[in-house]
Homo-oligomer: A and B are copies of this chain.
């Protein structure tokens, strides 16, 4: 991520098997173990069209035996490994998404109803090079755009 890639369409390759393959490859590189829970989680993340909460991942990846704690721990490990990106948001909640270096993008979140839409591309090359010139390395970033979605704007309009 965060190497200044551009991609102006709305496609991102969810569900493509290579996303999982890439993740597994990186895991092997880092000597992480490829377990059934982790494979299930990666599958869920690869199918997702937006960042997911740990609970959502747990619900979708769960065959009934998967523990939420395991989800949290695996997400933590995957995050540290750069395979997953965590998006901290308000009220202590976080969302997680597979990192897709070639399809880096961000999202708009409706402050009122929580709706999330994807936005194309990312313009942070300049600001990251500023960070680099301050001596920082190994850069990543998170960005969340907040707004009021059209639906919510309508509702408050005829209020």
A residues engaging B (CB < 8 A)?
Answer: 86, 88-92, 94, 106, 108, 110-111, 117, 119-124, 126-128, 130-131, 134-150, 153
Are A146 and B139 also in contact (CB < 8 A) when A108-B134, A122-B127, A127-B123 are?
A: yes
Q: Which of B92, B108, B138, B145 contacts A92 (CB 8 A)?
A: B92
Q: Which of B94, B130, B144, B153 contacts A120 (CB 8 A)?
A: B130
A110 to B149, CA, bound (A): 33
Residues in B neighbouring A140, C-beta threshold 8 A: 145-147
The answer on a CB contact under 8 Å between A143 and B142 is yes
Residues in B neighbouring A149, C-beta threshold 8 A: 135-136
A119 to B106, CA, bound (A): 20
Closest B residue to A132 by CB, please name it.
Answer: B147
The answer on a CB contact under 8 Å between B119 and A147 is no
The answer on a CB contact under 8 Å between B135 and A146 is no
The answer on a CB contact under 8 Å between A134 and B122 is no
